[in-house]
Homo-oligomer: A and B are copies of this chain.
Amino acid sequence: MKYFKVSIMLIIFLGSLLIADEGMWTFDNPPVKQLKAKYGFEPNQKWLDHIRLSSVRFMDGGSGSFISSDGLVLTNHHVAVGQLQKMSSEDKNYVKTGFKAEKWENEIKCPDLEVNILVDFEDVTDEVVSVVKSDKNMAENYKAKKAKMAEIENRNKEKTGLESEVVNLYHGGEYWLYQYKKYTDVRLVFAPERSAAFFGGYNDNFTYPRYDLDFALFRVYENDKPIKCKNYLKWNSDGIKKDELVFVSGHPGSTNRLYTFSQLEFQRDCEYPYVLKFIDRKLALLKEYAKRGPEQQRKAIIYQFGLLNGLKAMQGEYNGLQDTAVTNIKKRQEHKLKDLVKSDPKLRKKYGSAWNEISKVIDLEKKRYDELFYRRISFSNLSNYALRIVRFVEEIEKPDKDRLEGYHKTDVERIKFRLFSPAPIYKDLEEINMVDLFQTVKKELGENDEFVKSLIGDRNPEEYAHKLFSDTRLDEVEFRKKLINGGKEAVQKCNDPLILLAKRIDPIMRKDRKWRKENISSKLNFASEKIAKARFEIYGKNIYPDATFSLRLSYGTVKGYEMNGTIAPCFTTLYGLYDRAISFKGDEDYFIPEKFWQKEDKLDLSTPVNFVSTCDIIGGNSGSPVVNRDGEIVGLIFDGNIESLTGGFVYDIEKSRAVAVHIGYITEALDKLYDADFILDEIGVERGE
């Protein structure tokens, strides 16, 4: 009778999976069954390939898509804003003023932007797992798997020339080799003013109804010429209707939906409180810094954006972790899976112990959490450069399999690209943060901590930080190049104060890293793999893996939701933008560029501005295209609503919504506000006279 019970529960569970628009699906396992059952739509391989090859990964941490045969890429302004800031100076503030190139020659090269296109993928689970000899030594097995993954990546890169990445899916359930075409010559074509893109500021961030023009355009170059794209998305300014099926193809960064309940408790009790406290401190510092003058304000803005954005997102997640209504959903899911495993003797024997194993690892991590957290925090680009250089010259001499993660052969190119970035460095701001870092770490870990001793010792924090940033030459690209090229010897001889600091603390950080690998990561990997296998045996591949900043397909419908005692509409209009701008007159978060007032009468105010869908997304999906059944681009993901902030560990179709810029708004703005005919012509928008 046990099997009967299992299959009944299975049907209930699968049923619910088929109904909700949940999941960030890999392109090797698209939700075809679900789409057919709920929407009568069966995407074929050609459709899937077209969407995939039109999708772009921004290594800055976002997504985008090709929208012309000349390599024009659409993404969010807030994905582009880091590069905009790096291109800006006291005289030219592209963040504030926006940018319009008019012709190819005027497009500005990004200092350090890398984009990727996923051109192929392959299941390499068997090869990775083949190195595991016995269950006994978890640390050895873990190391061997990591080495094998690096080996596969390296082998493939040599063979194909493509960026090669072995991705761990389902927490060890599968390993896939993802092959990317990589581009590092990416140029800015267009960006609106930040006040139009980020209308409503931090108040409206992660909420809806919204009115944001959160887009920017780049062009991908190779050999100093725009690339030719076979795959790009057809522009459709009028392509959404209420209740219509839409798709999102992008790169969700990270979710923990397959975490056990004890892992979520660990996040709630350790990770979130520590990080939230840290963000609060950093924001207070930035606020003080920005008060010094307009130039400091300009420099601070990009860091403030990152921190405030993160703060609101994390606060939402943290609230979710504390909300029993939310956590009970997770508890029920876990109990269901555990019951299914327990009720079958074979499954129980193979996998039954996994949850307890994870709990034990977490208990251990909790005990050392103070050290593990504060010995890793960072807030200076230059000190990060220093650490990276010190490690690089040491690792590069080792055989590939013995290197630290992140320093394998396949990583070298990317390390150098970032390390040699010509982006400006704000030494005054870095110094302030360094002082605070010294004080915080000393306070939290005590002066007798070996890391604290090496980091700061008896030195005066202010004086020492000032000396570090006055004397260092790491802000010169050429100096960094010389150290990397000079190798171990050059670094050993180097007396740059930040290099000296890095050399002092690196041994302790390596020791921590080793401890974490042997006592935490390898054991978690071992136990998580068991749970993943149990899931496969029970549910087959009717589940999707947690997000890993690799390409995923989500689907859902354009749909409002119950909110604040009433309902939120599925789209907003330009009327609403002016409504909110006037309602909050005087509040600079709600300023719109002057041209919006001057050209108001040219605009069709009924133009849809933003819209919501039930597509399942998370941070990293920013800039993802929203496409319709015909594979046309109809929207541009830029946010989730406040109710979606628990999406890291649970998806709620009733209230969770993905927020997108309507393509019609971009068209209307390019046409009537920005007179950007060169772009409209390129993407094939027909206009009246």
Chain B residue with the shortest CB-CB distance to A242: B586
CB pair A573–B579 under 8 Å, yes or no, is yes
Which of the residues B204, B579, B583 comes within 8 Å of A566, measured between beta carbons? B204
> B206 near A565 (CB under 8 angstroms)?
yes
User: Are B565's CB and A642's CB within 8 A?
Assistant: yes
Evaluate whether A579 and B572 lie within 8 angstroms (CB atoms) in the complex, with A200-B566, A203-B566 already known.
yes
Q: A575 contacts B578, CB within 8 Å?
A: yes
Q: Does A569 contact B (CB under 8 A)?
A: yes
Which B residues lie within 8 Å of A223 (CB)?
Answer: none
Query: Are A582 and B606 in contact, with the CB atoms below 8 A?
Result: yes
Selected from B206, B567, B576, the residue in CB contact (under 8 A) with A575 is B576
- Measured in the bound complex, the distance between the Cα atoms of B571 and A575 in whole Å is 15
* Cα distance, A412 to B147, chains bound together (Å): 96
The yes or no answer to A605 lying at the interface (CB within 8 A) is: yes
Let me know if A580 is at the binding interface, CB within 8 A.
Answer: yes
A576 to B, closest residue via Cβ: B579
CB-defined contacts of A204 to chain B, threshold 8 Å: 566
Task: Report copies per complex.
Answer: 2
The answer to whether A564 and B605 touch (CB under 8 A), given A569-B580, A572-B579, A572-B583, is no
Contact digits for A294-323, partner B, Cβ 8 Å, 1 yes 0 no: 000000000000000000100010000000
- Min distance, Cβ A246 to any Cβ of chain B, angstroms: 18
- For chain A, the bracket of interface size reads 20 to 34
Per-residue B-contact encoding for A637-674, CB less than 8 Å = 1, 0 else: 00001100000000000000000000000000000000
Is the C-beta of A584 less than 8 angstroms from some C-beta in chain B? Answer: yes
Q: Is B576 a contact partner of A642 (Cβ separation < 8 A)?
A: no
Report how far A19 CA is from B223 CA in the complex, Å: 69
Question: Looking at chain A's contact residues, is the secondary structure mostly helix, strand, loop, or mixed?
Answer: mixed
**CA separation between A570 and B578, bound complex, in Å?**
15
Q: 1/0 per residue A199-225: CB within 8 Å of B?
A: 010011111010000000000000000
Contact present for A583 and B571 (CB under 8 Å)? yes
| Chain B residues with CB below 8 A from A573, complex form | 578-579, 582-583
User: In this assembly, does A563 line the interface, its C-beta being within 8 Å of a C-beta of chain B?
Assistant: yes
Residues of the B chain whose Cβ atoms lie less than 8 Å from the Cβ of A582:
573, 575, 606
Do A564 and B606 touch (CB < 8 A)? no
Closest to A571 in B: B583
Q: Which of A209, A571, A575, A580 has the most CB of B within 10 A?
A: A575
Q: How far is the CB of A21 from chain B (nearest CB, A)?
A: 21
Name the residue of chain B whose CB is nearest to the CB of A583.
Answer: B569
Residues from chain B with Cβ under 8 Å of A565 in the complex: 206-207, 312, 316, 641-642
Cα A641 to Cα B574 in complex, Å, equals 25
A564 to chain B, nearest CB (A): 5
Contact of A564 among B564, B576, B578 (CB under 8 A): B564
Say how far A76's CB is from chain B's closest CB, in angstroms.
19
B569–A584 touching, CB < 8 Å: yes
Chain B residues within an 8 Å CB radius of A580: 569, 576
Pair A564/B203 contact, Cβ less than 8 Å: no
User: Counting chain B CB atoms within 10 Å of each CB, which of A565, A571, A605 scores highest?
Assistant: A565
Q: Is the CB of B583 within 8 A of A605?
A: no
